[in-house]
């Protein structure tokens, strides 16, 4: 069983930067760098929106809505997956979920999820 815990959510003003982190734990340890991981967000009362993915191979990808503003990365010293949110907008207000991506088969899927961290962008 893998447990993922997000942190870093806050009430912030438009513009500027915020960094979210995701730490994992599980049987025999959970080394973030060995797994493909992603971020999915959910605006209040809305559905799920895929944000970004980081494969263990190093390949990264972003949704058009955040491309050029958000950066996904891994901090191997802290064993976390991070999401650097730059140029924040009101529409970035959401609960941000971290998820492990099972990418060893033909079909990629998000098999373990955290409980989410709330980011509110408002002046």
Partner 1 sequence: DIQMTQSPSSLSASVGDRVTITCRAGQSISNYLNWYQQKPGKGPKLLIFGASSLQSGVPSRFRGSGSGTDFTLTIISLQPDDLGTYYCQQSYSSPIFTFGPGTKVDI
Closest CA to 109 of 117, 118, 119, 99: 99
The interface mask with partner 1, positions 21-60, x = CB under 8 A, is -----------------x-x------xxxx--x-x---xx
If the CB atoms of residues 30 and 110 are measured against partner 1, the closer one turns out to be 110
CB of 70 to partner 1, least distance (A): 15
At residue 122, φ and ψ (nearest 5 deg) are -155, 145
If the CB atoms of residues 28 and 107 are measured against partner 1, the closer one turns out to be 107
Provide the strand spans (E) within 1-123: 2-7, 11-12, 17-26, 36-42, 48-54, 60-62, 70-75, 80-86, 94-102, 109-113, 117-121
Query: Contact positions toward partner 1, by CB under 8 A?
Result: 38, 40, 47-50, 53, 55, 59-61, 63-64, 97, 99, 102, 105-111, 113-116
């Amino acid at each position: 069983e893998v447990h993922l815990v997000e942190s870093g959510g806050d009430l912030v003003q438009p513009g500027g930067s915020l960094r979210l982190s995701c730490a994992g734990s599980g049987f025999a340890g959970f080394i973030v760098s060995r797994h493909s991981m992603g971020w999915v967000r959910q605006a209040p009362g809305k559905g799920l929106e895929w944000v970004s993915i980081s494969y263990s191979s190093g390949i990264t990808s972003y949704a058009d809505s955040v491309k050029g503003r958000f950066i996904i990365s891994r901090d191997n010293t802290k064993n976390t997956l991070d999401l650097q949110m730059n140029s924040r907008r009101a529409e970035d207000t959401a609960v941000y979920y971290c998820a492990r991506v099972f990418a060893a088969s033909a079909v990629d899927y998000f098999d373990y999820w955290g409980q989410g961290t709330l980011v509110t962008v408002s002046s």
